[in-house]
Amino acid sequence: MNQRTIARRVELVGIGLHKGVPVNMILEPLPSNSGIVFYRSDVGISIPLCVENVIDTTMATVIGKNGVKVSTIEHLLSSVYAYGIDNLRIVLDNEEVPIMDGSSIGFCMLLEEAGIKELDEPKRVIEIIENVSIQDGDKFVRLEPSDNLIFDFAIDFSHQSIKKQHYRFTFTTQGYKEEIASARTFGFLHEVNQLRSMGLGLGGSLDNCIVLDKNKILNKGGLRYKEEFVRHKILDALGDMCLLGMHFIGGYFSFAGSHKLNHLLTKKLLESPNAYRYVDFSKASSKAPSYAKYVM
């Protein structure tokens, strides 16, 4: 399997979660070995996607360069990861990726509209060969060797609508679309009010976020999946792992992980040369990730 990009330019307009303003987003194909690059068209600054460019992980994963940033990148990157895309230019005229419906299913549809193009250079992946982990009290994120690409996540909230949830996802593109992509981000009403008092979360609504008060879910339609909360955590983790710069083969395990812990995990892995190796996808395990074709 060779590296991938999209077959044609596509675009959409959406609302940014925190600023609440319209954002024009264009996806453009790039040649082999270009990587994922964000471009702020309003200021003329390119920001390559890499661990070194992460500047904040408080409410979302944020990258920046020369005082210019792009926020809430994880949902889009999750779908980019799921379709096996290695090279892509993401053009934005504001500082946030559109929130869409709070999940990544809209981005999946956009990528399928664009089509996938295989390039002339072989696809390389990171194969995990030793455990690497980050611990914060009882919270942790960990990468382990595995023939399959696995995301295994558990959460434990006191809220009666969430409580303990666990989900294990063995990756395929089709499985991602069916099991993960439609899981929405979530938040608590008191947090929403606090964010808005700080001038944040201005684009958030029941149309793009699961909102919970002290007792219940406020969204009239309820949940899309029984374990939608933990499935969204897996969606986020897939996006955050894009910061490695290429796809990986291994197992991701977490209890109560976060964007911050995911960022620390990617940094630690890349600083641990004995824990991984680079391999051509064609020479990787026969159980290496199964990416949908959609090749034009």
One-letter amino acid at 159 equals: H
Which residues are known to be catalytic?
259
Q: Give Cα 186 distance to the centre of its chain.
A: 15
The pLDDT, as a whole number, for residue 203 is 79
CA dist 147 and 150 (Å) reads: 9
For strands 116-122 and 251-255, give the pairing.
unpaired
End-to-end CA distance of the chain: 15
The pLDDT, as a whole number, for residue 21 is 87
Residues of the binding site:
75, 232, 236
Domains of the chain, by residue range, sit at 2-122, 125-280
Distances (CA, A) of 296 to 8, 37, 111, 122, 174: 9, 22, 12, 18, 18
DSSP state of 68: E
For strands 186-188 and 164-170, give the pairing.
unpaired
The pLDDT, as a whole number, for residue 293 is 53
CA dist 282 and 296 (Å) reads: 20
Residues of the binding site for Zn(2+):
75, 232, 236
Going 231 to 138 to 62 to 239, the CA torsion angle's sign is negative
The pLDDT, as a whole number, for residue 289 is 67
pLDDT less than 50: residues of the chain: 294-296
The pLDDT, as a whole number, for residue 59 is 85
User: pLDDT for 199-235, tens place per residue?
Assistant: 666 678 899 999 999 999 999 999 999 999 999 999 9
Q: Tokens 């994922």 correspond to what residue?
A: 36
Q: 2-122 has which fold?
A: Ribosomal Protein S5; domain 2 (3.30.230)
Is residue 210 a contact partner of residue 223, using CB atoms and an 8 Å limit? yes
Q: Concatenate the DSSP letters of all residues of 29-44 into one string.
A: E--TT--EEEEETTTT
CA atoms within 13 A on the CB side of 45: 15
CA dihedral 31, 127, 82, 103 (to 10 degrees): -120
Residues found in the chain: 296
Which residue from 60, 111, 62, 120 is spatially nearest to 88, judged by alpha carbons?
111
SS3 of 217, please?
A: strand
**CATH numeric code, 125-280:** 3.30.1700.10
Cα–Cα–Cα angle for 148, 119, 286, nearest 5°? 20
Q: 151 has which bridge partners?
A: 169, 252
pTM of the model: 0.94
Backbone dihedral angles phi then psi of residue 282, each to the nearest 5 degrees: -65, -20
The pLDDT, as a whole number, for residue 191 is 80
